[in-house]
């Protein structure tokens, strides 16, 4: 206690955080998703993790702060966002044998500037009552007129849907993607609105029969007394792209260029990629571990296994601008 008070005083007197054992995180991820994992890290290492949660503007903030930025690490979902941060020149590469050993090559930047720590699939939530097994097996099926008036989704311009359309484009090209987006839009039961869970609620209440959603939201709904009913009304189906697998995206981390607590930051990165960190992510967040040695949680495993699509993450990141442009051109939300 005295020591803590003393070092805090010293740190404030010196105007420096160098004496404190800490690491500072800028995060686009929700606090409840990562704080329980940070707590375990702090318990084991004595290194405090300070988190600033941002809704937007992370790149601008890091650029404005420059060398004086207090941030060591950035946390985000979506490979395109991660790539955007890297390309802005506010990140430094990390040479770590632990990270390259624990994280498979397809889940990290060849130049070690970003590292995925979890993956998630974007799949179909289907009414148990009104959709039979086998009714929908591909993403292409979503544009089939048999689904007219039966599909719900959040905004087409949300990063999750932009990435899905980008993957579609990588598989089938721009023309086919436009047709698909128009077909999907024509099948919507209502204008895009709400988040992924709001669509499951709409299935539960009978407004639609299928929706698009990320896998881990099933875990969040099951754990929520109000939302459990919604979850119980649906099952997860894992569609594939014709000639591919189920669409996956990642959450990832990167070390900032300024990183005043670089050593501690790398320790945290290595912890998250370790079997222990991966298991915590798997159990607490119901995301898929990127380590092949860590199994998903029992709940996640109960949803069934799937073939992940094998597009390169960087290709997916590059598909974002044309995919977003096309979603806007077809006025998907309109
Ligand atoms: Fe999410």
Q: pLDDT tens digit string along 228-274?
A: 999 999 999 999 999 999 999 999 999 999 999 999 999 999 999 99
Residue 127 has pLDDT above 50, yes or no: yes
Could you tell me if 124 and 236 are in contact, meaning their C-beta atoms sit under 8 angstroms apart?
yes
For 118, residues 6+ apart whose C-beta sits below 8 A from its C-beta are 250, 251, 281, 285, 287, 288, 289, 290
Q: What is the pLDDT of residue 32?
A: 84
Q: Where are the beta strands (DSSP E) in 36-194?
A: 48-53, 73-77, 91-92, 115-127, 151-152
Tokens standing for 181?
Answer: 């987006």
Q: Is 206 left (phi over 0), alpha (psi -120 to 50) or beta?
A: left
Is residue 156 within 8 Å of 165, Cβ to Cβ?
Answer: yes
- In degrees, rounded to 5, the angle at the alpha carbon of residue 109 between the alpha carbons of residues 256 and 298 is 95
Mean pLDDT of the 72-96 span: 96
Q: What are the residue ranges of helices labelled H in 77-227?
A: 79-87, 97-102, 159-172, 174-186, 196-204, 216-222
Is the Cβ–Cβ distance between 135 and 176 less than 8 Å? Answer: no
What's the 29 CA to ligand 1 centre distance in angstroms? Answer: 8
Closest CA to 192 of 237, 226, 228, 162: 162
d(CA 15, ligand 1 centre) in Å: 37
The structure tokens listed for 252 are: 């990832």
Q: Is the pLDDT score of 71 beyond 80?
A: yes
Please give the distance, rounded to the nearest whole angstrom, from the Cα atom of residue 311 to the centre of ligand 1.
21
- Measured in Å, residue 196 CA sits from the centre of ligand 1 at 8
pLDDT of residue 20: 73
Q: Are strands 234-237 and 115-127 parallel, antiparallel or unpaired?
A: antiparallel
Cα of 78 from ligand 1 centre, angstroms: 9
Compute the distance from residue 101 Cα to the ligand 1 centre, in Å: 27
pLDDT digit string, tens, across residues 3-18: 344 344 444 444 444 4
Percent above pLDDT 90 for the chain: 92
The terminus-to-terminus CA distance of the chain in angstroms comes to: 58
Q: What is the mean pLDDT of the chain?
A: 94
CA 5 to ligand 1 centroid distance, Å: 38
CATH superfamily of this structure's domain 2-119+248-302: Periplasmic binding protein-like II (3.40.190.10)
pLDDT at 302: 97
What is the domain partition of the chain in residue ranges?
2-119+248-302, 121-247+305-329
Cα(237) to centroid(ligand 1), Å: 18
Cα 12 to ligand 1 centre (Å): 37
Distance 4 CA to ligand 1 centre (A): 37
Give the Å distance between the CA of 156 and the centre of ligand 1. 14
Distance 144 CA to ligand 1 centre (A): 27
Tokens of 224: 């929520």
217 CA distance to ligand 1 centroid (A)? 7
Q: How far is the CA of 160 from the centre of ligand 1 (A)?
A: 8
Mean pLDDT of 145-173: 98
For range 318-331, the mean pLDDT: 98
pLDDT at 315 over 90: yes
Q: 164: pLDDT confidence band, cut at 50, 70 and 90?
A: very high
Give the distance (Å) from ligand 1 centre to CA of residue 294.
Answer: 21
Distance 220 CA to ligand 1 centre (A): 10
pLDDT at 7: 44
Tell how far the Cα of 251 is from the centroid of ligand 1, in angstroms: 10
Distance from the alpha carbon of residue 98 to the mean position of ligand 1, in angstroms:
28
On whether the 121-247+305-329 domain is CATH 3.40.190.10, my answer is yes
pLDDT of residue 111: 96
Tell me what pLDDT residue 19 has: 59
CA of 169 to the centre of ligand 1 (A): 22
pLDDT in tens, 267-281: 999 999 999 999 999
pLDDT at 1 over 70: no
The secondary structure of residue 295, as a DSSP letter, is: P
Ligand 1 centroid vs 119 CA: distance in angstroms? 11
Of the chain, the percentage scoring pLDDT greater than 70 comes to: 94
Whether 2-119+248-302 and 121-247+305-329 share one fold: the answer is: yes
């Amino acid at each position: 206690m005295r020591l803590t008070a003393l070092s805090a005083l010293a740190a404030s007197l010196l105007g420096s955080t160098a004496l404190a054992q800490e690491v500072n995180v800028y995060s686009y991820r929700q606090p409840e998703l990562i704080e329980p994992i940070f707590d375990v890290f702090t318990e084991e290492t004595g290194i405090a993790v300070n988190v600033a949660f941002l809704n937007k503007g992370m790149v601008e903030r890091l650029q404005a702060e420059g060398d004086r930025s207090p941030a060591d690490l950035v946390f985000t979902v979506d490979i395109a966002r991660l790539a955007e941060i890297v390309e802005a020149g506010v990140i430094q590469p990390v040479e770590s044998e632990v990270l390259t050993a624990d994280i498979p090559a397809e889940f990290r930047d060849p130049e070690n500037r970003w590292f995925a720590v979890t993956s998630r699939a974007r799949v179909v939530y289907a009414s148990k009552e009104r959709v039979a097994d086998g009714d929908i097996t591909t993403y292409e099926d979503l544009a089939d007129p048999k689904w007219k008036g039966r599909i719900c989704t959040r905004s087409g311009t949300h990063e999750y849907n932009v990435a899905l359309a980008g993957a579609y484009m990588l598989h089938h090209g721009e023309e086919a993607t436009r047709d698909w987006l128009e077909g999907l839009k024509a099948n919507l039961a209502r204008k895009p609105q709400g988040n992924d869970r709001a669509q499951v609620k709409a299935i539960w209440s009978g407004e639609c029969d299928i929706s698009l959603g990320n896998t881990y939201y099933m875990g969040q709904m099951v754990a929520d007394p109000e939302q459990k009913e919604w979850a119980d009304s649906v099952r997860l189906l894992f569609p594939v792209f014709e000639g591919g697998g189920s669409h996956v995206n990642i959450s990832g981390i990167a070390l900032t260029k300024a990183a005043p607590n670089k050593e501690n930051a790398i320790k945290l990165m290595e912890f998250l990629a370790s079997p222990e960190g991966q298991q915590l992510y798997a159990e607490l967040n119901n995301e898929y571990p990127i380590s092949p040695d860590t199994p998903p949680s029992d709940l996640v495993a109960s949803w069934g296994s799937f073939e992940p699509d094998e597009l390169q993450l960087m290709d997916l990141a590059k598909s974002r601008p044309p995919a977003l442009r096309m979603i806007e051109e077809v006025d998907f939300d309109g």
